[in-house]
Structure 1
Amino acid sequence: MQRGAIEQALKEIDAAFARLEQGTYGICQGCGRSIPVERLEILPYARCWVPCQLRAG
């Protein structure tokens, strides 16, 4: 189980680097709003801001 969690985290980090290169890092994939810096400081590979994340489940 630990290995799977690590592999998933690495995939999320790789995806964050891709968004950075594309110029879309920090933009919510759910609604297109900016993800607050405070969230990105806690979870640098966040794809969504909290309200969209809660809706996604």
Structure 2
Amino acid sequence: MKVKTFIPAEYIQDVIEMSRDVFSEKEELEFLKSCLFYLQEGFNSQQAIEMSMVDYLVDM
């Protein structure tokens, strides 16, 4: 059985607004996937953005 996690819409809005017009289309998609992973793990939007940015920089 798969566990469902509630992610507040505000967190998703924060992530989308931050990534808009910053990355290429492919990079933005990977960044959003990474943010969603961290949001599912219980991080707030700011923490998810910071962790995803670290992931992005490490993968460069």
TM-score greater than 0.5 by the shorter chain = no
TM-score, normalization by structure 2: 0.37
Name which structure has the greater RCO, CA cutoff 8 Å, separation 6+.
Answer: 2
